[in-house]
Amino acid sequence: MWDKRCPGNLISEGETHALIRECSAADKVQSIISDTVFDRSGGNPFFAVRANGATVWDVDDNEYIDYVGTWGPAILGHAPQVVVDAVQKAAVQGTSFGIPNTLEVRMAELVVNSVPSVEKVRMCNSGTEATMSAIRLARGFTKRSKIIKFEGCYHGHVDSLLVKAGSGALTLGQPDSAGVPPEFTSQTIVLPFNDVEAVRRAFAEHGADIAGIILEPVPANAGLYLPCDGYLEFLQEITTRHESLLIFDEVMTGFRLGLKGAQGRFGITPDLSCFGKVIGGGLPVGAFGGRSEIMDCLAPDGPVYQAGTLSGNPLAMAAGISVLEALSDGSVYDKIDSLGKALSDGLAWAAESAGVAVQLQRIGSMACCYFTDTPVHNMVDAMKSDRERFSKYFHGMLEAGVYVAPSQFEAGFISAAHDEAAIERTIEVAARVMKTL
């Protein structure tokens, strides 16, 4: 957010840090970063001017090995040539049409051909729009009102889903957002993740009113934890039995954990799926899709309204297509998954050598290092981690040129632009920093 009371240009070279100090970054410059660990520990947020491959540069030309990857989308690294070329080429053809276009069709083809559960897909402009529309569609299709969500699962800033939503809200220690009237969340049932009995009880009590369950199949917005064996199968079975819908929010995991996303890894067929992040190639995109029978309820064919001025935007489509095509032979996943393993093994070693208790959680190219000695299977477990320790770790890493997500409750990402040298350097730095904790 820009605050006119704050003098000078905040992104002018060199002076930035001084300006931020003067302006008290927390309330003047509201980025996700200034809102998180920098507030708590008094450090200064850095302002990026440039990012390429696995590297980000700040305004003072310091460089960092980046494990945030613009919060997930940068699976090929920052500004990969294929994306830059595709966006430039698309831009000269027109930056927005508001008319169905061939790029949007190509994107739909790529998603539908890749993810078996998705027979039809609709593009929108963010992950938030995707989940918001998917739950409206689930309600319209089933003619029921209630939605089950899980603690620590984040589905964007949709009013009705901003309950125990992890991510930024969790980092700020306010699991429920102000500005959301209780009536808006009264149809949302919030349950602990990985708890079969809780879901059974909810269906026993409200079964006939439950339109669907929405979840991150691999929750990655309260750190990272995995579904227990059989849990996703159970959710599929119970929703099928009660004729409510299983909605996978794969905004983070879609095309990140493989071409079929988390559903491919775990062999589950959800009714609806939400996408974003990777499929936008770094531009603003979301999408949702699923069984034709359900998707046909959307306007204009059906009664569930959904629209967007910039949906199917040619620049975003071109960027996303270029990424999905680069991913299509699967080789990128082999690379980033093995780098992910090398990094998390290395971090586990660094922590152990320093006598620091951590839970190193990983799936594919996503990982999280919780500073706790107890296993993490849900949000309550995640909350046991030592956030002061995390904060020290974060700042130690940053000072040494490694940028990890500025919150204990975010996952880190490896891209195809990372290499063994970057991973080794990161492990060396971590080994040094862990010893100071």
- Compute the least distance from the CB of residue 399 to ligand PLP, in Å: 28
393 an active-site residue? Answer: no
Please, which residue, 16 or 407, has the CB nearer to ligand PLP?
407
Q: State the catalytic residue, choosing from 35, 249, 271, 381.
A: 249
Stretch 268-307 residues interacting with ligand PLP (CB under 6 A): 276, 286
- Closest contact distance (angstroms) between CB of 428 and ligand PLP is 30
Interface of this chain with ligand PLP, residues 309 to 368, rule: CB under 6 A:
none
Residues 51-110 that bind ligand PLP (CB under 6 A): none
Is 127 a binding residue for ligand PLP by CB under 6 A? The answer is: yes
Interface with ligand PLP in residues 148-177 (CB under 6 A): 154-156
Spot the catalytic one: 67, 154, 370, 403. 154
- Residue 223 CB, shortest distance to ligand PLP, in Å, is 12
**Measured from the CB atom, is 283 or 429 closer to ligand PLP?**
283
* Residue 308 CA: distances (Å) to CA of 96, 97, 103, 390: 12, 12, 16, 40
- Concerning whether 403 is annotated as a catalytic residue, the answer is no
- Which residue's CB is nearer to ligand PLP, number 129 or number 386? 129
User: Minimum distance between the CB of residue 250 and ligand PLP, rounded to whole angstroms?
Assistant: 7
Number of amino acids touching ligand PLP (CB under 6 A): 14
How far apart are CB 329 and ligand PLP at their closest, in Å?
25
User: Which of 36, 101, 126, 426 is in the footprint of ligand PLP by CB under 6 A?
Assistant: 126
Q: Which residues of 318-347 are buried (b: 16+ CB within 10 A; e: fewer)?
A: bbbbbbbebbeeeebbeebbebbbbbbebb
Could you give the CA distance from residue 275 to residue 289 in angstroms, rounded to a whole number? 9
Applying CB under 6 A, does 216 fall inside the site for ligand PLP?
yes
Q: Is 249 in the site for ligand PLP (CB under 6 A)?
A: yes
Q: C-beta of 419: minimal distance to ligand PLP in Å?
A: 26
Does position 221 interact with ligand PLP (CB under 6 A)? The reply is yes
Residues 250-269 close enough to bind ligand PLP by CB under 6 A: 251-252
Q: Which residue has the tokens 């200034």?
A: 34
Task: Report residue 37: phi and psi, to 5°.
Answer: -65, -25
With the C-alpha atoms ordered 305, 309, 310, 314, is the resulting torsion angle positive or negative?
positive
Stretch that binds ligand PLP, among 40-48, 52-60, 123-131, 300-308 (CB under 6 A): 123-131
**64 an active-site residue?**
no
**Cα separation, 114 vs 145, whole angstroms:** 31
Residue at token pair 């999280």: 368
Site for ligand PLP in 131-150 (CB under 6 A): 131
C-beta closer to ligand PLP: residue 69 or 276: 276
- Catalytic pick among 260, 277, 337, 370: 277
Closer residue to ligand PLP (CB): 191 or 429: 191
Question: Would you please indicate which residues are annotated as catalytic (active-site) residues?
Answer: 154, 249, 277
Q: Which residues bind ligand PLP (CB under 6 A)?
A: 126-128, 131, 154-156, 216, 221, 249, 251-252, 276, 286
